[in-house]
Structure 1
Amino acid sequence: MTATAEPLPFTADEVMTVAASRALADGTACFVGIGLPSTAANLARRTHAPGLWMIYESGTLGASPDALPLSIGDGELAETADTVVPVTEVFNYWLQAGRIDTGFLGAAQIDRFGNINTTVIGDYAAPKVRLPGAGGAPEIAASCGRVIVIVRQSRRTFVERVDFTTSFGHGSGPGDRERLGLRGAGPVQVITDLGVLEPDPRTRELVLTRLHPGATAEQAREATGWDLAVSPDLAATPEPDPDELAVLRSLTGRG
């Protein structure tokens, strides 16, 4: 009789969120998006990074909400922020001037060079699906010190080439960001529900560098729309610890 593996005491989404939170260092400034990025950033602030300075696109600097915000216009962001400034100041003074360390982004599509699409699926003039659009993501991708992308991994999302480049990653390879004069380093990690991808230092193509508990390299390759390279030094993501899970579940209402 074949033994079956014991189910893991956490979900793939929980591992992904915890891994993303661990990528945020204490005392740094982070431009936070709603959804998975906001969950990960708020988890980091409640665990290992109490000095994480969270900035939301609505102009709330140093927000510290007691619950996950429903949108960038959630009143609790303004009530708990160190200060609230006009949106133009967030972008002109803070973001474009290079004062934000980390930008957190999601994606509807992402390609092998970390370019992100949140605009349309299909041809721009006659799209199959029209997506929410850019918002501040192109500026975040261009000007933050580094960018972390958090997104569930599937062939629908991880495509050979995005249908539309909303937010510039590494273009078509090395040197493209520099030629465009982009300030930031671009995507340095893509954290999924299966593992972590990072750009190859030479080619800038995304490579699988870490696997989450319960996931396999073959699963990650099957969930990717290009021939995904796997690092020869493939590492394992440490399991979430009980404190991280307790805080995360309290945030998401599962605790």
Structure 2
Amino acid sequence: MTDHTPNEIMTIAAARLLTDDDVCFVGIGAPSAACNLARLTHAPKITLIYESGTLGTRPAVLPLSIGDGELCDTALTTVSVPEMFRYWLQGGRITIGFLGGAQIDRFANLNTTVVGPYDAPSVRLPGGGGAPEIAIHCGQIFITMAMGKRGFVDRLPFITSLGHGTGKGSREALGVKTKGPTQVITDLCIFEPDPETAELTVTSIHPGATREQIQDNCGWPVKFAAAVAETPVPTAEELTVLRDLHARTKAAHAA
């Protein structure tokens, strides 16, 4: 079983980055699928934390929101949101923050606030929630987003969550000591910040995707690493576990 969809390889490639030792602050949607896939395959000891205060969560189905009862029901414990942010997040106890966004720029800054002018936007998005804090206080950030010119834009109308600002050194100039985004996993490829400039650079291309396809779905001139890898094809186990997870989720939410 090697046939897969672009979203499946995005989720699987993201899951592979996680280990048993990680304490992961999980976003809803694609980040949640990736983190739980890792937990159900190669990283059973990973600690998953959701913004609502659930620690050591082991959901059987993917949550609809941070308020989904599945998270609290399957958590080791649940703490208050102020404790979650002040003690766990701001205290530097979370190794990985897993985020998504409506828009991203070449320095991995994220927008989840507005499209268009802030005072008169063409689209008002859900907002940042805890993402701005997650972006600066987790040890490093992984971002999962499907590629497209509506999402991968040359210039953000609003920065909700800090990536690498205007380039290398921007985070440090603001007093931020964490690494920020180190991986951007898409349905076509994986980006990493260039060591010299912090601009997102393609380091791995998924099977079947091309450089031309990546550029056609990005709003800025894409840079490619000197040696670009090919993302390993999903295994039968990875696909089976991921599909079973989505099937259980669909059935649970349809009930």
Same fold (TM over 0.5): yes
Q: Does 1:172 align with 2:160?
A: no
Q: Which residue of 2 is the match for residue 215 of structure 1? A: 209
Q: Which residue of 2 aligns with 1:96?
A: 90
Q: Counterparts in 2 of 1:62-81, with a 5 A limit?
A: 62-81=56-75
CA distance in 2, matches of 1:52, 1:99: 14
Q: How many Å apart are 1:183 and its aligned residue?
A: 2.9
After superposition, residues 86-165 of structure 1 pair within 5 angstroms as: 86-165=80-159
CA contact (8 A) 1:98 1:183 kept: no
Cα separation, 1, equivalents of 2:99 and 2:127: 13
Tell me how far apart the structure 2 counterparts of residues 27 and 48 of structure 1 sit (CA, whole Å): 11
Cα contact 1:65–1:76 (8 A) shared by 2:
yes
Written as runs of structure 1 = structure 2, the 5 A alignment for 1:228-247 is 228-247=222-241
* SS of equivalent to 1:147: strand
Look up the equivalent residue of 2:18 and give its one-letter code.
L
CA RMSD of aligned residues (A): 1.2
Paired residues, number: 248
Aligned-residue identity in percent: 58
Residue 9 of structure 1 and its aligned partner are, at CA, apart by 0.9
TM, length-normalised to structure 2 = 0.95
Q: Partner amino acid for 1:177? A: R
Which of 158, 176, 182 is the aligned partner of 2:176?
182
Please list the CA deviations of residues 47-106 of structure 1 after superposition, one character each: whole Å capped at 9, or x if unmatched.
Answer: 000011000000000000111111111112111111100001111001111110000000
**Which sits farther off after the overlay, 177-186 or 116-125?**
177-186
| 1:184 positional shift | 1.6
Q: Which runs of 5 or more residues in structure 2 are unaligned?
A: 251-255
Return the alpha-carbon distance in structure 2 between the equivalents of residues 160 and 222 of structure 1: 13
Residues 122-178 of structure 1 show CA distances to partners (whole Å, capped at 9, x for unaligned) of 000110000000000000100100000000001111111111000000000111101
Q: Tell me what 2:5 maps to.
A: 11
CA distance in 2, matches of 1:203, 1:183: 17
Q: How far apart are residue 179 of structure 1 and its match?
A: 1.1
SS at match of 1:226: coil
- Name structure 1 gaps, 5 residues minimum: 1-7
Which residue type is aligned with residue 140 of structure 2? Answer: R
Give the letter for the 1:139 counterpart: E
1-structure distance, mates of 2:107, 2:3:
34
Equivalent position amino acid for 2:41 in 1: T
1:36 to 27, 30, 33: 30
> Residues of 1 paired with 2:175 and 2:93: CA distance?
17
